[in-house]
């Protein structure tokens, strides 16, 4: 019994020691866990600035691995400190999405804040106004999609504000004048509307750089900008500015670059501008400016002078390399598409000066120019005018001449002076009263029409007449088209990083991306200035979802979050056709039979759009860069972002062209109509490029700039050898390429009735591909039983309309069928069912 008792006491002692050991082990682990928690959650004991930064990162769903510890001044990514205060936060291109947290207001020592190239959305929190030390603020390239933030106007120490490509809408506030320390103000490529706060902007006398391009200001150029004596760079292109060039701008004595092209500007270049001796680039093209060439320009060493596509008249001064204007050999002067006259200039400056499309007396007129006068107008020039109004060129559409007729300035007919003022004492009060009275009468009449004493109706709301919620209606996403989120596409493209950018088109910029499943796609993100309405965008998605053909680039999906408009297409590994034609100069030659296959593939794609799409589609911009090649070098027609559907096959579109110089139907300038024959014309030019390896318009081709006019006489007089791409080095089927050239020239006929339909083109060219595929050689065993020149001439000999779906089918398809061969040119199965 004693032994047992002794054993029991020993067990108790051992148990006691075990318990004590467990207690100490537990305490040790508690200390370790506490330390770990301390370092894992720095906000518990972090500085207020560190806490604010962590809350910012959290609101954007972004984890920065280096943001550890309690002191943001110790190697935190994107954070710069001075005197242990955060003075700079640079999170450019960091994949940030969503709004800015109010915690931004705690970083009161910030001097520089760069949030550019992200997917941050608006509105900006009011706490931003607390950053009174801020000197540099950069919101460039974020989909803020909000009005101008009033909080920014309270940052009185701002020196640099980059608020461009950010989807800013509405009016630019008058309060911008409060930022009187600004030296750089970038507001370009937003969606501002007028009027422009001219006095406020003109008061920012410290400005050195100012951009206002890509909005809809519909304002005259502000004379107040003459106060900006320190301004060096001014960019106001494509913003619907009208009226004349302000003489007061001659006070901008520091200006080096001035870009005001593609507006509705009229009148003469002020003689006072001769004081702008610091100018190195002047771009005033694509307006309706007139008057003589300003001779004082030759005394300024401008490196780029762009005056093309205006209405300038009179002779051009004789130029020589000794003049300051041409003192720098890189000087580029564009004067094309004006009305300069007199003797053709005798100067020989090579490619430095472009003077085509003018009215020089001793320059021959081509019949294809169809001007019936001494002016050698190019197809891509604006409309030719045959008369002067009071000595002035005609105003742009919807404008009329006003002010001093000696300078020929125009203004919009519907323009209303801001602030209730008017040069002619216009009775705005009477107009407003009349409008209000008329509106009341309309509401009353509609109410009476809707009133029914017999049947009970819901109460009539007069304001419902002016409210539309169409944009907010739910819609059924087309089957087979994926609706991507902005987060998916942002991740796929590295937040639309510039390294992912592969091009730009009529719709906007194009990026390549890799989706979560590894699939590569091409993503077209609309530019802010090019955004269309939500209903129009959805209609376009619906249209594209119905177009399925082996030779059309397939639509994979879209994204319409935050009012963005993004289209997602299949990715084409081998880029565009233009790149491959150009590579012939680098020794990377596209083989002749591959050129034939590409030409036929393009024709099949266009024929599908014209004949089988419902409704039929006119592409309107056929050119090499809109033809993409997949990994097997299969050609696919792309860029339907500017395509238009026609309700009937033989309808036309009466609108401004969306094409490209060199490929645009010349008949458009006569009849203001784009038809399926317009696509045929563009295809003809494209086919000539495939055959010759040359560009549609090439000013270095001294014999003839226009490819059609270069090919036609050479081909007729000396045959295919005189025009075929020299890079092929004779390795091509001469008969096939001869036939291709004949087809190309017919497609590029000036008269649309002389052009074949795309179905005819396919029927003629596709058998060449089939014969080559059967022979397995470079066409040595090519079947010569196919129709030849006499049949080719019959394509247009009957004078049939190429827009008629039934025309020319019989003689184009029947001979092939009777030969026992099926040459059906159309592939209507979905791409995923193709063998």
Mark the binding-site residues for ATP, compressed into ranges. 524
Closest residue by Cα to residue 541 from 513, 507, 514? 507
565: left (phi over 0), alpha (psi -120 to 50) or beta: beta
CA dihedral 113, 117, 118, 120 (to 10 degrees): 60
**CA-closest candidate to residue 252, choices 210, 217, 286, 303:** 210
Listed in sequence order, the residues at least 6 apart from 578 whose beta carbon sits closer than 8 Å to its beta carbon are 623, 624, 625, 627
486, two tokens: 């902005």
Cβ neighbours, 10 Å, residue 2: 6
User: The tokens 């400190």 sit on which residue?
Assistant: 81
- Positions marked catalytic: 621
Contacts 24+ apart (CB under 8 A), 421-424: none
Q: How far apart are CA 418 and CA 195, in angstroms?
A: 7
Q: HEC string of 130-191?
A: HCCCCCEEECCCCCCCCECCHHHHHCCCCCEEECCCCCCEEECCHHHHHCCCCCEEECCCCE
With beta carbons less than 8 A apart as the criterion, state whether 537 and 529 touch: no
Nearest by Cα to 786 from 733, 716, 711: 733
Q: How far apart, in whole angstroms, are the C-alpha atoms of residue 62 and residue 319?
A: 60
Whole-angstrom Cα distance, residue 548 to residue 828? Answer: 7
Tell me the C-alpha to C-alpha distance, in Å, between residue 136 and each of 8, 380, 818.
80, 43, 76
Contact 173, 197 (CB under 8 A): yes
The two tokens of residue 203 are 């008061």
Contact 376, 359 (CB under 8 A): yes
DSSP string over 243-288? EPPPGGGGG-TT--EEE--SSEEEEPPPGGGGG-TT-SEEE--SSE
The values of phi and psi at residue 521, to 5°, are: -140, 160
CA 275/CA 249 separation, integer angstroms: 9
Q: What is the DSSP string of 541-595?
A: HHHHHT---TTBPPEEEEE-GGG--EEEEE--TT-BHHHHHHHGGGT-PPPHHHH
| Binding-site annotation, residues | 524
What is the gyration radius of the CA atoms in the chain, in angstroms? 34
**The token pair that represents 342 in the structure block:** 């007199």
CA 341 to chain centre: 35
Residue pair 247/224 in contact (Cβ under 8 Å)? The answer is no
Report d(CA 663, CA 683) in Å as an integer.
8
Q: Which among 382, 381, 356, 359 is positioned nearest to 372, based on CA atoms?
A: 359
The answer to whether 513 and 492 have CB atoms below 8 angstroms apart is yes
The 3-state DSSP composition of the chain as helix, strand, coil percent (nearest 5) reads 35, 15, 50
Contact by Cβ (8 Å): 681, 608:
no
Residue 167 class from Cβ within 10 Å (0-12 exposed, 13-18 middle, 19+ buried)?
buried
User: Could you give the C-alpha distances from 1 to 7, 384, 613, in angstroms and in order?
Assistant: 10, 128, 105
Helix (H, G, I), strand (E, B) or coil at 619: coil
């Amino acid at each position: 019994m004693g032994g047992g008792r002794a054993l029991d006491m020993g067990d108790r002692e051992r148990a006691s020691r075990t318990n004590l050991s467990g207690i100490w082990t537990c305490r040790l682990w508690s200390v370790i866990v506490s330390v770990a928690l301390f370092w894992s959650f720095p906000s518990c004991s972090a500085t207020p600035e560190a806490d604010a930064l962590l809350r910012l990162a959290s609101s954007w769903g972004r984890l920065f691995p280096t943001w550890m510890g309690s002191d943001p001044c110790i190697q935190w990514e994107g954070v710069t400190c001075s005197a242990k205060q955060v003075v700079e936060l640079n999170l450019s291109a960091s994949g940030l999405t969503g709004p800015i947290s109010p915690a931004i207001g705690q970083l009161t020592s910030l001097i520089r804040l760069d949030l550019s190239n992200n997917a941050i959305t608006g509105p900006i929190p009011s706490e931003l106004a607390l950053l009174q030390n801020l000197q540099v603020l950069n919101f460039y390239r974020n989909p803020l999609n909000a009005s101008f933030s009033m909080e920014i106007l309270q940052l009185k120490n701002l020196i640099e504000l980059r608020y461009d490509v950010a989807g800013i809408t509405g009016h630019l506030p008058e309060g911008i004048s409060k930022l009187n320390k600004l030296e750089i103000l970038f507001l370009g490529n937003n969606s501002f509307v007028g009027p422009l706060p001219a006095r406020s902007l003109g008061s920012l006398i410290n400005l050195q750089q100012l951009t206002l391009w890509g909005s809809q200001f519909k304002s005259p150029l502000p004379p107040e900008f003459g106060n900006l004596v320190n301004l060096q760079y001014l960019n106001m292109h494509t913003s619907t500015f009208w009226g004349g060039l302000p003489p007061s701008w001659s006070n901008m004595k520091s200006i080096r670059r001035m870009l005001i092209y593609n507006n509705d500007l009229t009148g003469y270049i002020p003689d006072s501008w001769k004081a702008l001796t610091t100018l190195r680039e002047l771009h005033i093209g694509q307006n309706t400016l007139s008057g003589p060439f300003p001779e004082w320009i030759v005394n300024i060493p401008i490196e780029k002078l762009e005056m093309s596509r205006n209405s300038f008249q009179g002779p051009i001064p004789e130029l020589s390399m000794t003049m300051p204007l041409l003192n720098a050999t890189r000087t580029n002067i564009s004067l094309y598409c004006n009305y300069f006259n007199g003797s053709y200039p005798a100067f020989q400056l090579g490619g430095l000066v472009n003077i085509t499309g003018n009215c020089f007396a001793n320059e021959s007129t081509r019949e294809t120019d169809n001007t019936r006068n001494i002016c050698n107008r190019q197809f891509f020039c604006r409309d030719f005018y045959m008369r002067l109004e009071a000595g002035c060129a005609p105003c742009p559409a919807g404008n009329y001449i006003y002010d001093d007729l000696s300078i020929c300035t125009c203004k919009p007919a519907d323009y209303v002076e801001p602030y209730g003022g008017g040069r002619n004492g216009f009775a705005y009060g009477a107009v407003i009263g009349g409008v209000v009275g008329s509106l009341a009468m309309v509401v009353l009449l509609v109410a009476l029409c809707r009133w029914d004493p017999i049947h009970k109706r819901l109460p009539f709301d007069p304001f419902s007449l002016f409210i539309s919620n169409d944009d907010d209606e739910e819609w059924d996403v087309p089957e087979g088209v994926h609706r991507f989120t902005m987060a998916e596409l942002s991740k796929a493209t590295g937040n639309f990083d510039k390294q992912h950018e592969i091009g730009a088109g009529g719709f906007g910029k194009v990026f390549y991306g890799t989706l979560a499943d590894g699939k590569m796609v091409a993503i077209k993100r609309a530019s802010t200035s090019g955004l269309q309405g939500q209903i129009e965008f959805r209609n376009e998605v619906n249209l594209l979802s119905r177009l399925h053909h082996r030779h059309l680039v397939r639509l994979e999906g879209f994204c319409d979050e935050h009012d963005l408009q993004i289209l997602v297409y299949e990715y084409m590994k081998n880029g565009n056709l233009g790149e491959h034609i150009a590579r012939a100069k680098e020794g990377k030659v596209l083989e002749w039979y591959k050129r034939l296959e590409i030409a036929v593939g393009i024709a099949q794609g266009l024929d599908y759009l014209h004949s089988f799409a419902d409704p039929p589609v006119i592409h309107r911009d056929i050119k090499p860069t809109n033809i993409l090649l997949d990994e097997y070098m299969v050609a696919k027609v792309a860029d339907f972002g500017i395509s238009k559907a026609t309700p009937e096959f033989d309808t036309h579109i009466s609108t401004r062209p969306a094409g490209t110089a060199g490929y645009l139907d010349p008949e458009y300038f006569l009849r203001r109509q784009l038809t399926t024959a317009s696509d045929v014309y563009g295809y003809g030019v494209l086919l000539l490029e495939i055959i010759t390896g040359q560009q549609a318009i090439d000013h270095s081709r001294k014999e003839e700039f226009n490819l059609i006019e270069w090919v036609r006489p050479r081909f007729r007089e000396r045959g295919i050898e005189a025009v075929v791409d020299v890079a092929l080095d004779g390795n091509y089927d001469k008969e096939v390429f001869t036939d291709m050239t004949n087809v190309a020239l017919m497609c590029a006929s000036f008269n649309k009735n002389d052009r074949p339909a795309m179905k005819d083109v396919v029927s003629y060219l596709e058998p060449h591909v089939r014969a080559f595929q059967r022979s397995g050689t470079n066409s040595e065993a090519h079947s010569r039983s196919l129709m030849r020149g006499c049949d080719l001439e019959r394509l247009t000999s009957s004078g049939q309309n190429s827009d008629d779906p039934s025309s020319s089918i019989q003689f184009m398809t029947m001979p092939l069928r009777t030969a026992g061969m099926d040459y059906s040119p159309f592939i209507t199965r979905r791409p995923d069912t193709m063998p």
